[in-house]
Amino acid sequence: MIEAVGLTKRYGAKTAVYNLSFQVRPGAVTGFLGPNGSGKSTTMRMILGLDEPTAGHVTVGGYPFGKLPNAPRQVGALLDAKAVHGGRSARQHLLCLAQLSGIPARRVDEVLGVVGLQNAARKRSKGFSLGMGQRLGIAAALLGDPQVLLFDEPVNGLDPEGILWVRNFMKQLASEGRTVFVSSHLMSEMALTADHLIVIGRGQLLADMNVKDFISYNSADFARVRTPEGDPGQREKLTAALSEAGGQVLPEQDGALRVTGLPLPRISDLAHKADVRLWELSPHQASLEEAYMRMTQGAVDYRSTIDERAALQQPQQPVPGAVPQGAPYGYAPGAQGQPVGFPPGTVLPGYAEPPAPPRQPHAPGGAMPSAPAAPAPPAAPATSAPAAAAAAMPPTAPPAAPAAPPAQPPAAPPAPADLTKSDTEDAR
């Protein structure tokens, strides 16, 4: 199990993660969602001991990563599939990682087979496609046969067959009782893969609940109603009748109406009473994507000037339980471990960046000490050099020691001599 408590990370004036508490349980695929820049990678790096929290702490199986006994056999991760020495073959890359972690060489061939790279094992990784690189990263994460697996955007660049494979593979890992924590921007994929979701926005927890609940908490079911084409008067009459009865009515692009707040039989009755003929009256449930868009619309940092979310930003009635406007940064609804979410249509407050407190020194374990003594945190590594190796190798120095930054594996771990004999394209 992964457990974060009050996890906070500041980079100078920038608060990347703020007061994040959650648990990732074994036996399920937990999706980690959030808009660009919301702090997902930073959180994953803190889990892996590659970044030190400014405050709070995170443990894997009860230990901070740096104190995990035999970490490579307990935790595997794919953070950045490109973090591979391009001159090495897939097999050489994995052999290096295996040797550094005391994992027998036969496991390398096993994981190459598992990810379907057995025929490309001796090709230099610089010739790999994006999808092949992802598979290699997944293979590296699996080397130690770990119980806890973290994947940052694992389906990035995969073709449909690869995506299906990753989906089924994640589910299989979870069904074996492992803890699987996976970030993705692909909502349709998450809807099919994840059992549970942790959603963050601007570094803060927005939701911690199963997928089904997430959709029903964050999306309003609606009815689509269509009146005869070529008779706008009918449409207007119906809009007036439904609005008067308390429904919210929005025009759809194809001329239909989207109605919330009224059950289907009532819509039918009201139409009948208003003498309006209906060509369509159908129930709809929002998708995970729409639920996600609704939830995160107030926490998006980067947005096109042509933004399709505008359609979701309809005026909303105040909703009981919604995050109050002007809620302080760090507003965290719900108790830890409990479902957290906002009711359908909640517009999140456009919360401002919290003022950065005076630079705080770090204490071992990530607690915020009161004495300003310790040096500044180590710079965050670029999303892990050999990402998988990052997880496969325990830091050489505990991450809590600020003077010795959490060691990440060297960008190009020294290859054992017997692995560097060939310089041909198909390196042996």
CB 42, min distance to ligand ATP, A: 3
Q: Does 6 bind ligand ATP (CB under 6 A)?
A: no
Are 341 and 16 a contacting pair, CB within 8 Å? no
Stretch that binds ligand ATP, among 32-40, 260-268, 370-378, 394-402 (CB under 6 A): 32-40
Q: Which of 26, 27, 37, 349 binds ligand ATP (CB under 6 A)?
A: 37
**Contact region for ligand ATP (CB under 6 A) — 8-16, 219-227, 240-248, 337-345?**
8-16
Count of residues of this chain found to bind ligand ATP when the rule CB under 6 A is applied: 12
Closest distance of CB 80 from ligand ATP, Å:
10
Q: Own/partner pairs for 311-315, CB < 8 Å, 24+ apart?
A: 313/347, 314/248, 314/250, 314/345
> Which residue number, 42 or 260, has a Cβ lying nearer to ligand ATP?
42
Cα separation of the two ends of the chain: 39
Token digits for 110?
A: 């096993």
Site for ligand ATP in 367-386 (CB under 6 A): 380
Q: How far is the CB of 38 from ligand ATP (least distance, A)?
A: 4
CA 33 – CA 205 distance, rounded (Å): 10
CB-CB contact of 386 with 78 (8 Å): no
Sheet holding 248-251, edge to edge: 248-251, 257-260, 222-226, 280-284
Q: Which of 28, 31, 40, 77 binds ligand ATP (CB under 6 A)?
A: 40
User: How many helices and strands, by DSSP H and E, does the chain display?
Assistant: 12, 13
Closest CA to 93 of 59, 60, 140: 140
What backbone phi and psi angles, to 5 degrees, belong to 330? 100, 0
Q: Interacting stretch for ligand ATP, rule CB under 6 A, among 33-41, 79-87, 101-109, 231-239?
A: 33-41
Determine if 41 is a binding residue for ligand ATP (CB under 6 A). yes
The site map against ligand ATP for 214-253 (x = CB under 6 A) is ----------------------------------------
* Site residues (vs ligand ATP, CB under 6 A): 11, 14, 16, 34, 36-42, 380
